Amino acid sequence: MRVLNASGCLDALTAPEVARALDVFVTKTVTPLPREGNAAPRIAEVDHGMLNSIGLANPGIDHFLSQALPRLAELGVPIWVSVGGFATSEYADLCDRLDDRPEVAAIELNVSCPNVDDVPASVGEIVAAARDATRKLLYTKLSPATTDVAEVARAAQAAGTDGLSLVNTILGLALDERTLKPRLSRAVGGLSGPGLKPIALAAVYDCYAATGLPIVGMGGIAAGRDALEFVAAGAADIALGTTLFSDPGSVTRIRAELANEVVTRGVGAVDNAIGVAHAGATAISESSQPVAPVSV
Amino acid sequence: MMAERERSQIVAVETIGPYTLLRVRRGFLDPGIPGQFFMLEAPGRPLPRPMSVCLAPPGELGFLIDPIGAGTRALCALQPGDELSLLGPLGNGYDLEVERPLLVGGGIGIAPLPFLSKALGHPPAILGFRSDRHAEAAELVPNAEVVVEPRFVTEAMPPGHDVLACGPEAMLAAVARLEPGAQLAWEAPMACGYGACYGCAVEIGGELKRLCVEGPVLAAEAVAA
């Protein structure tokens, strides 16, 4: 199991020591043209997490390829590039531009940013166009804000995605306690942190059952126990987002906590726990001693 | 990011007017340059809070906090012996190579000025507050002239100084108009303090940039509209 950062939750060039602790660094989403992002205020804390409305601020693919990517490659950590567009052809173009860059280990299709107005085409179309444009490993990052995320996951699988990143944030609203006006400039923003965890777990659980694809699970992971739950729901890898903001050392901490969980439960290795939450899988008990597997 | 994160014990909690001065054991943390800040874990809240260093006596770091929201109220409710995590020092502080320093602060914006005053040998200061009770915090800054609303600091600023200021946006904008060469410490909501969240974007030199990376101390010219 690898520990990644959630896209947009770490600038590896500003905090390289944090990025080097990761197994994979995922870039902030790159779009065809530079984007300044949304006006301030862009973030607001809520009781069980935070809202953000950054708006895909990034320097655009030209600048990314010429300036940022060569410097990111010097970190010595595999680089996944998150890409976002506003039309199917834009995703295809971005993937095409990245396809011959050896620094890029994988491409993550961000088809689910909640903070931009333009709604792109269907997930299946985007993945199919991206698949045609690149031989790179392709992950598709989905939104939990849909009636049936497993159906979207199946469409992405049919169109050729190699894996799924689950989940992106889900829209929320926070009001100023005094004025009762929205605290973010765009009113609503993406909810992340502990409040997102049960929603994300459900998406991982459903998509694992529906597709069997490799899944990067994310959404409110703040401790090793959270990470293990995502693995049990079906995640092969996990990503950290909001917890990196409060604790830049959380990559190392959570990895150690997870190792401790595995020892305590007698699982042997984290990968042995992938999907154990599902019916028919072998259950794992919490115990100071390894326990005999129990068939369900 | 050349910052450290450490878990430290609260040494003392002092009330100064409506504010709270939180004194924390310094441990191995470097207090940094005046104007730099730390992210303080806010007990029970998802995100830490950015606080500039107010005092840095041997073995301690002091933070002046105005309990105006859930996080700052949680910080002000801490008791001696409690522990919290601190990350810092972060951001860019004041340039201390100035010939005729004048410190200008408003309200809770005086927070970095006691540390700055000490570093500069206690230069003159002008501090503005909304009430006499808030003005009790002026005791932290030696050689300070205090103005209370409806008077404003800009009415009391003598010309011909190198101004180093911190305070509410309207005050900083007014100071910038009077003294385009001033160094101004700004504030913005931050989730991380080290460039990861992109939440603290402000317009700098005509572009949206991260205040935690570029600031929080900026040249007045850089932010003048």
Nearest to B47 among A10, A37, A245 (CB): A245
Handedness of CA A14, A20, A22, A25 (dihedral sign): positive
Rg (CA), chain B: 16
Nearest to B47 among A36, A246, A248 (CB): A246
What pLDDT shows up at residue A278? Answer: 96
The answer for B 52-71 residues in CB contact with A (under 8 A) is 70-71
The Cβ of residue A198 has, within 10 Å, a number of other Cβ atoms equal to 12
Over residues A260-273, the pLDDT tens digits come to 999 999 988 999 99
Kindly list the domain boundaries of chain B, sorted by start residue.
4-90
Which residues of chain A, if any, have pLDDT below 50?
119, 288-296
Residue A277 lies in a domain: no
Cβ–Cβ contact A45 with B under 8 A: yes
Sheet holding B125-129, edge to edge: B144-148, B125-129, B101-106, B162-166, B183-185, B217-219
Residue A296 lies in a domain: no
Q: How far is CA B43 from CA B46, B67, B76, B78, B111, in A?
A: 8, 13, 10, 8, 21
Residue A289 lies in a domain: no
What pLDDT shows up at residue A118? Answer: 52
Test mutation, A7, A51, A197, A246, chain B, max B CBs within 10 A: A246
Residue A211 lies in a domain: yes
Cβ–Cβ contact B198 with A under 8 A: yes
Local structure of residue A9 (DSSP, 8 states)? S
Domain that holds residue A9: 3-38+52-171+189-249
Write the secondary structure of chain B as one string of H (helix), E (strand) and C (coil).
Answer: CCCEEEEEEEEEEEEECCEEEEEEECCCCCCCCECEEEEECCCCCCCCEEEECCECCCCEEEEEECCCCHHHHHHHCCCCCCEEEEEEEECECCCCCCCCEEEEEEHHHHCCHHHHHHHCCCCCEEEEECCCCHHHHHHHCCCEEEEECCCCHHHHCCCCCEEEEECCHHHHHHHHHHCCCCEEECCCCCCCCCCCCCCCEEEECCEEEEHHHHCEEEEHHHHCC
pTM for the complete prediction? 0.93
Over residues B30-85, the pLDDT tens digits come to 999 999 999 999 999 999 999 999 999 999 999 999 999 999 999 999 999 999 99
The answer for A254, left when phi > 0, alpha when psi is -120 to 50, beta otherwise, is: alpha
Residue A210 lies in a domain: yes
Over residues B156-212, the pLDDT tens digits come to 999 999 999 999 999 999 999 999 999 999 999 999 999 999 999 988 878 888 999
Catalytic positions of A are 113
Q: Are strands B60-65 and B19-25 parallel, antiparallel or unpaired?
A: antiparallel
Cβ–Cβ contact A182 with B under 8 A: no
What pLDDT shows up at residue A127? Answer: 96
CATH of the domain at A89: 3.20.20.70
What pLDDT shows up at residue B174? Answer: 94
Going by C-beta distance under 8 Å and a sequence separation of 6 or more, which residues neighbour residue B155?
B147
Q: How far, in Å, CA of B131 to CA of B148, rounded?
A: 6
Over residues A83-118, the pLDDT tens digits come to 999 999 999 999 999 999 999 999 999 998 665 555
CB contact under 8 A, B208 and A10: no
Q: Is the pLDDT assigned to residue B128 strictly greater than 90?
A: yes
Residue A202 lies in a domain: yes
Q: Are A42 and A53 in contact (CB under 8 A)?
A: yes
Q: Are strands B101-106 and B162-166 parallel, antiparallel or unpaired?
A: parallel
What pLDDT shows up at residue A290? Answer: 43
Q: What dotted CATH number matches B4-90?
A: 2.40.30.10
What pLDDT shows up at residue B224? Answer: 55
Q: B83 to chain A nearest CA, in Å?
A: 15
Cα end-to-end span (Å), chain B: 29
Nearest to B5 among A28, A194, A249 (CB): A249
Going by C-beta distance under 8 Å and a sequence separation of 6 or more, which residues neighbour residue A142?
A111, A112, A123, A149, A152, A153, A156, A164, A165, A166, A167, A168, A203, A207
Cα end-to-end span (Å), chain A: 25
Size of interface A-B (CB pairs under 8 A): 101
